[in-house]
Amino acid sequence: MKFKLQNPSFFKTGWGLKQAMRILKISLVLVLATCFQVSAKSYAQMVSINAFGVSLEKICMEIHQQTGYNFFYKDDCISAAKKVTVNLQNAPLTDALDACLKGQPISYKITGKTIVLTTKKADNDQQPVKLIKGKISDSKGNPLSGANVLIKGTIRGTIADSEGNYIIEVSEKAILVFSFMGYQKKEVAVGIRNEINVTLQEEIAELKELTFNAGYYNVKEREKTGSIEKVDSKTIAQQPISNPIEALTGRMPGVQITPSQGLAGAGFTVRVRGQNSIAAGNEPLYIIDGVPYDSKSMTTSSVSQTFRGDLSPFSLINPSDIESIEVLKDADATAIYGSRGANGVLLITTKKGKEGKARFNISYNTSAAKITKFHTLLTTEQYIESRKEAYANDGVAEANIKERAVNGTWPADRYTDWQKLLLGNTARINDFQASVSSGNSNTQILLSASYRTETSVVVGDNMDKRGSILAKANHTSTDERFKIALARSYTMQNGALPVYTQSLGYAAVSLQPNAPLPYKEDGSLNFETGFTNPLAEASCKYSHERYSLLSNTVISYQIIPHLEFKANLGYTGTELEDYSAYPDTYRYPASYSDSKYSSVTRNNASRRSWTVEPQINWEQSINKGKLIFLIGSTFESQVNKQLLTSGYGFPSDELLNNLSAASTKYINGDDKKQYKYQALFARLNYNWEGKYIVNITGRRDGSSRFGSNKKYANFGAFGAAWIFSKEPFIKEKLPFISFGKFRGSYGSSGNDQIGDYEFMDTYTISSKDYDGVIGFTPTRLFNPLFAWEVNKKLEFSLEMGLLNDHLQVTTTYFRNMSTNQLVGIPMPATTGFTSLRANLDAKVKNTGLEIQLNTVNFRKKHFNWTTSFNITFPKNELVEFPDLEGSTYANTYVIGKSLNIKKLYHNLGVNPETGIYEFEDYNNDGVISSGNDKKFIIDFSTKFYGGLANHLSYKNWDLDFFFQFSQKTTYNYAVQIYTSGNQSTLTLENRWHKPGDEAYLQRYTTGKNSAAQTAADRLYSSNEAYADASYVRLKNLSIAYTIPESILKRMKCSLYLQGQDLLTFTKYKGPDPEQPGQQIGMIKRVNFGVQFNF
């Protein structure tokens, strides 16, 4: 092994690799030196041996030299022996022999000065052998098919059959060990019995049993030094969701998930401990089975108006294939991801095959989904009344009213509930899953397939389909030195929705209730004058088709004991083709009655990335502690391609998806971008008796997004934990503390989420031309000198388990400081540009308190009840920003306030005389202007958020319910006076009606009165347009029943009923406090499913 470190700056890393390498070398020397620590006493009956992985033959030689005893054995006896690891000081000879032969298939006999080694016969020759049989079952009496039975101290054993029965031949002295995955081990001495029935207790999800995936390594919950949260497959399975990110909503402190809209395929915003970056991205780094997964949407809003360009790549991941999702939050956990860990790291691990006989799992579930809440809008009668008042207010005589809905052109007795018509569909979701898992102790495989269809709440024939296959194989060589894990998943997905979903949502709330019906009597679309038919628009379809291949291979080889070489190889390929088709039939036929007006815009995009990560792992016990050292490197490359095209004028609407049929074709963009990334990382962990733990991680990495001298940077973190409950004085004095840990960490990670190539001096090819010449425009003021954004994270945490872990509390305080902000430094326009990409000396601080509480309320044979609760109090603050007043952020941010503020007009209420809103004139110049009078600051930061989960089980019944809550202020558009279209019924009660009225809302207006119109416009950007949007939501309810196996032979069957987003308690007036301004907001889902395991 040769390490070549040529870059001298590398050594400035502080506690970097150099140090780690030194430790590695020193430790190796120590190990070799201590292998044969020889006691000076010769020919004594006492023996001192300190050996690590030494062959038995050498041990015998050693004992011979120390004691003078001779050994007698057959070669084949001793060659079958395992390597010996013992640490003995002045032990009696027999003890030494017992220790060295422990677990070996070898017994000894001392005759005089000779020790005879013989191969053990099954059990003990002297003991009578008999047949033991029995049944292994769980606490509910269900047989545990596939459970292991092992004779202690041997490798002999058997496996329970499908009824949980076993038979084994043992001696009376033997001890049987019963085990089954997910259950506590049980040991039973055979004695004189002939039948041994055992009941295995299910392992309760206790902290100490949990293992966390920390990316390049795994760590036990109790021994972790960093902040890592986990959601497992059980929690995911309770939720009828299509995007796995949704499963995290409210489940983890410090992790905030916000949906962008309630459509299948739409994305979620994920913020781990707040917004750190002003202008670079705030997305966490996503890793699926060790391979980075780009969360950026591959479409653009010019093609996908439906999703506003945000078609989530995560909707390609089948939630049922996921074993766990871990989120890394603090410096200790994220620094190993270096330049990309600033916003946290989200690790997704897929399920893998299990040991044992072939297990089949088939499940089917079906859901119905509907929009939870609509606006309450005026009826036709109320509408006409309100408009007449508005016209009267604006001085328009009733005879001069042109509006068809009011002047009698449209019948006053017609009423259509447009919300119900346009958004009132019940979406149907069908989901079918099948998987098979099989394997022995060396090789396990899993094959899983799923197919899902989902229709939409939006009017029309909209269907989203997804099929996926996951194949996994794990293999370990018999000598356990070579391991390989293969994972491949392939997903196909396609879907269609109206292009103008957003405006359909708008039409649903604004169309006059007596507007004409969308269809004429002959079934054709109604294009009556003065009526914009929403169903005509709905015929423009946005379609998307995606293919994704995720492939990952991990190979490892134990070169010498304690030292393992590992390589992680990954490839991800995603392809997207999406297009919006606008048939001419959606347009007003009198003006556009020809298919030459039909058009299509199309996007063809692909993303390919590969990653190679060689690593070396080294584990060694030193004194009472264990040292783990990891060093590795990352090579990553990603290529994004995009081709944007459009076509106009098709001979027929049938040909809309064939661009060659268009009479005019445009290429709106053709691009290929490359991103490369390279890193060297290391981790050093020392764990002293599971009591004192230190963890040091470091990374040096380079990204192609920075100029030649700025490509590399170093990141590192230090974490430490003290499990004080292991201290004797705690055990004695405070016995009710069953577990106690104090941990802290400090370190840095970075952010390179800016666009590619920004350091380069380039000209961009524009899609615009002049007189046939395509233009090139200078892309930017180029600056090759900018570098990483840096996020320094500090955290302290106290984890406590009380009363035998019946009560567990974790309290964490964190402080993240983001500096070196990658923003556009504001430049005077005389430079030709308004900003220069550079590191600005701005500072953003995120602090917060996270509390997690788990309680075991009942733990009885048939009844269990556990509760877990989490809450986060976040605080965001812009600490510094040089030249803020002159920058483009002048109207957006204020130093000392959070990044989530808005500067608004201050509404002084409705003038009782004029009936028009008045606003505060901050600079008293007699004019309300946006520059000078938008001074009222509202902070939209969430004050606190969290979740409360309960799990109850009674015999074969399981009940889970989960509440999510949040306190914040948000846009409250529901109660306002619009100048056209329908209104909320709340306006009726709250509007100004006549001079002297003290009203909350201003007078009705049609926009003809410019003062009222302007006031209505200003209200949207005033404090009054925002309201408390705190809520408590019953996010999830799940009831499951498992049919006892006494009824179904050889098969486990469970039935479940789940509900998502069922109830919301809030003062907020709009449909969904989480998605202000969205008509298609929260959608409640009810799901019924059945699952078979056999």
Q: Are 299 and 316 in contact (CB under 8 A)?
A: no
Please identify, using beta-carbon distances, which residue of 760 and 1048 lies nearer to other proteins: 760
Q: Are 388 and 398 in contact (CB under 8 A)?
A: yes
- Pairing verdict, β 356-371 and 268-272: unpaired
Residue whose pair of structure tokens reads 């072939």 in the numeric block: 358
Q: How far is the CB of 215 from other proteins (least distance, A)?
A: 19
Q: How far is the CB of 826 from other proteins (least distance, A)?
A: 6
3-state SS, one letter per residue, for 210-226: CEEECCCCEEEHHHCCC
Number of other CB atoms surrounding residue 1019 within 10 Å: 20
Number of other CB atoms surrounding residue 479 within 10 Å: 7
Half-sphere exposure of 177 (CA within 13 A, CB side): 11
As a whole number of angstroms, the distance between CA 127 and CA 172 comes to 7
Q: Which of 775, 740, 778 is nearest to 762 (CA)?
A: 778
Q: How far is the CB of 760 from other proteins (least distance, A)?
A: 7
Please identify, using beta-carbon distances, which residue of 34 and 709 lies nearer to other proteins: 709
Question: How is residue 516 annotated by DSSP?
Answer: P
Which residues fall within 8 angstroms of residue 353, CB to CB, at 6 or more apart?
A: 437, 438, 439, 444, 445, 446, 472, 473, 474
Q: How far is the CB of 761 from other proteins (least distance, A)?
A: 4
Please identify, using beta-carbon distances, which residue of 493 and 642 lies nearer to other proteins: 642
Q: How far is the CB of 840 from other proteins (least distance, A)?
A: 13
Q: How far is the CB of 12 from other proteins (least distance, A)?
A: 13
Q: Are 801 and 854 in contact (CB under 8 A)?
A: no
Please identify, using beta-carbon distances, which residue of 126 and 830 lies nearer to other proteins: 830
Structure token digits, residue 503:
């405006």
Please identify, using beta-carbon distances, which residue of 134 and 647 lies nearer to other proteins: 647
CA triple 361-364-366, angle to 5 deg: 160
Please identify, using beta-carbon distances, which residue of 784 and 912 lies nearer to other proteins: 784
Please identify, using beta-carbon distances, which residue of 111 and 400 lies nearer to other proteins: 400
As a whole number of angstroms, the distance between CA 469 and CA 741 comes to 42
Q: How far is the CB of 910 from other proteins (least distance, A)?
A: 19
Please identify, using beta-carbon distances, which residue of 781 and 1043 lies nearer to other proteins: 781
Q: How far is the CB of 707 from other proteins (least distance, A)?
A: 11
Q: Are 325 and 346 in contact (CB under 8 A)?
A: yes
Q: Which of 566, 324, 571, 352 is nearest to 474 (CA)?
A: 352
Instruction: Work out the end-to-end distance of the chain between its first and last CA atoms, rounded to an integer number of angstroms.
Output: 49
- Pairing verdict, β 901-904 and 835-840: unpaired
DSSP codes joined into one string, 967-981? E-EEE--SS---SSS
Q: Which of 879, 871, 873, 872 is nearest to 899 (CA)?
A: 879
Q: What phi, psi does 555 have (nearest 5°)?
A: -120, 145
Please identify, using beta-carbon distances, which residue of 838 and 1040 lies nearer to other proteins: 838
DSSP codes joined into one string, 248-291? GTTTSTTEEEEES-SSTTB-EEEEESS---SSS--PPEEEETTE
Please identify, using beta-carbon distances, which residue of 33 and 559 lies nearer to other proteins: 559
Q: Are 354 and 439 in contact (CB under 8 A)?
A: yes
Please identify, using beta-carbon distances, which residue of 677 and 963 lies nearer to other proteins: 677
DSSP codes joined into one string, 639-695? EEEEEEEEEE--S-GGGTT-GGG-SEEEEEEEEEEEEEEEEEEEEEEEEETTTEEEE
What Å distances lie between residue 570 and 315, 346, 487, 489, CA to CA?
Answer: 20, 17, 9, 12
Please identify, using beta-carbon distances, which residue of 881 and 945 lies nearer to other proteins: 881
Please identify, using beta-carbon distances, which residue of 268 and 677 lies nearer to other proteins: 677
Q: Are 377 and 985 in contact (CB under 8 A)?
A: yes
Please identify, using beta-carbon distances, which residue of 185 and 673 lies nearer to other proteins: 673
Please identify, using beta-carbon distances, which residue of 333 and 605 lies nearer to other proteins: 605
Q: How far is the CB of 579 from other proteins (least distance, A)?
A: 20
Q: How far is the CB of 256 from other proteins (least distance, A)?
A: 32
Please identify, using beta-carbon distances, which residue of 292 and 848 lies nearer to other proteins: 292
Q: How far is the CB of 773 from other proteins (least distance, A)?
A: 4
Amino acid code (one letter) for 581: A
Q: How far is the CB of 413 from other proteins (least distance, A)?
A: 28
Looking at the DSSP assignment, which residues form a beta bridge with residue 189? 175
Q: Are 313 and 293 in contact (CB under 8 A)?
A: yes
Please identify, using beta-carbon distances, which residue of 252 and 336 lies nearer to other proteins: 336
As a whole number of angstroms, the distance between CA 27 and CA 20 comes to 11
Q: How far is the CB of 823 from other proteins (least distance, A)?
A: 14
Q: How far is the CB of 763 from other proteins (least distance, A)?
A: 5
Q: How far is the CB of 983 from other proteins (least distance, A)?
A: 18
- Pairing verdict, β 692-703 and 712-722: antiparallel
Q: How far is the CB of 645 from other proteins (least distance, A)?
A: 14
Three-class SS state of 412: coil
Q: How far is the CB of 929 from other proteins (least distance, A)?
A: 6
Q: Which of 384, 381, 369, 373 is nearest to 420 (CA)?
A: 373
Q: Are 183 and 146 in contact (CB under 8 A)?
A: no
Q: How far is the CB of 10 from other proteins (least distance, A)?
A: 7
Please identify, using beta-carbon distances, which residue of 259 and 632 lies nearer to other proteins: 632
